Amino acid sequence: MLNTPKIGVLVSGRGSNLQAIIDAIKNKELNAEIAVVLSDNPKAFALERASKAGIETAVIELKKFKAKDDYESEIVKTLKAKKAELVCLAGYMRIVGPAILKEFKAKIINIHPSLLPAFPGLHAQKQALEHGVKVSGCTVHFVDEGTDTGPIIIQSAVPVLEHDSEETLSERILEQEHKIYVEAIKLFSERRLVLEGRTVRVLSPRG
Ligand code: GRF
């Protein structure tokens, strides 16, 4: 078995994806260690989830810095101090800028609640309903300089039902998010993700 990779999780809010990662590690479905949970929002419920699980947390607020670059350099400093090898965005509500991207090239992943490239950005589930699609879902992707534009690692489709509200559709998608995010981290930690241009090749498990 490979060594246990350390991950840094960036959050801004509720933290249900963080919880899915915590639970998967606890249940030994995932061989990884959350080295730190970083939040730009001191009130994020994700911080409570992390503390409850005995995980170190840090709050780094953009407003405390003169420039976004300085804010991101502080994030990088904290991630490096904790020896994070993979950065997982889990409901982190900011665009990742160059200061983080250059330090963690092809080592930042994100979960998004739509089948990208459809409906990037905010309120993806609402966008899907308004467009009238019959199928939506979620995507785990590598993070690049765009908004939800990076190479796709895993996607999961869910049906959009006739009487869906934003809440019911979000709930159905969220169930899948929790599964594929853990799966993507597992693939990364087993070094089974190979980037070829903007395509991610998934290698078979070593037997
Ligand atoms: C999820 O829907 C995720 O796809 C999106 O933001 C939401 C975060 O939820 N990026 P949570 O904080 O993980 O509960």
Q: Look up the CATH number of the domain holding residue 8.
A: 3.40.50.170
Nearest protein Cα to ligand 1, atom 9: 91
Residue 98 has pLDDT above 60, yes or no: yes
Q: Which of 105, 126, 145 is the last residue of a domain?
A: 105
pLDDT tens track for 163-176:
999 999 999 999 99
Instruction: Name the domain count of the chain.
Output: 2
- Shared domain check, 44 and 137: no
Residue 66 φ/ψ, nearest 5 degrees: -70, -40
Q: Are 160 and 206 part of one and the same domain?
A: yes
Measuring from each residue's beta carbon to the nearest atom of ligand 1, which residues come in under 6 Å?
13-17, 90-91, 111-113, 174, 177
Q: Is the pLDDT of residue 207 over 70?
A: no
Could you tell me if 96 and 116 lie in one domain?
no
Cβ atoms of residues 55 and 25 within 8 Å:
no
Same domain, 1 and 101: yes
Rounded percentage of the chain residues whose pLDDT exceeds 70: 99
Range of the domain at 198: 110-207
| CA 136 – ligand 1 centroid, Å | 15
Q: Are residues 94 and 115 in the same domain?
A: no
Residues, the chain: 207
Dist. CA 145 → ligand 1 center (Å): 19
Residue 156 has pLDDT above 90, yes or no: yes
Average pLDDT for the chain = 97
Domain boundary among 64, 82, 105: 105
Q: Which atom of ligand 1 is nearest to the CA of 92?
A: 10
Mean pLDDT across 170-184: 98
**Which residues form the catalytic set?**
112
Q: For atom 5 of ligand 1, which residue has the closest CA?
A: 91
Quote the pTM value: 0.97
Same domain, 128 and 83: no
Residue 146 structure tokens:
């765009």
Let me know whether 27 and 97 are in one domain: yes
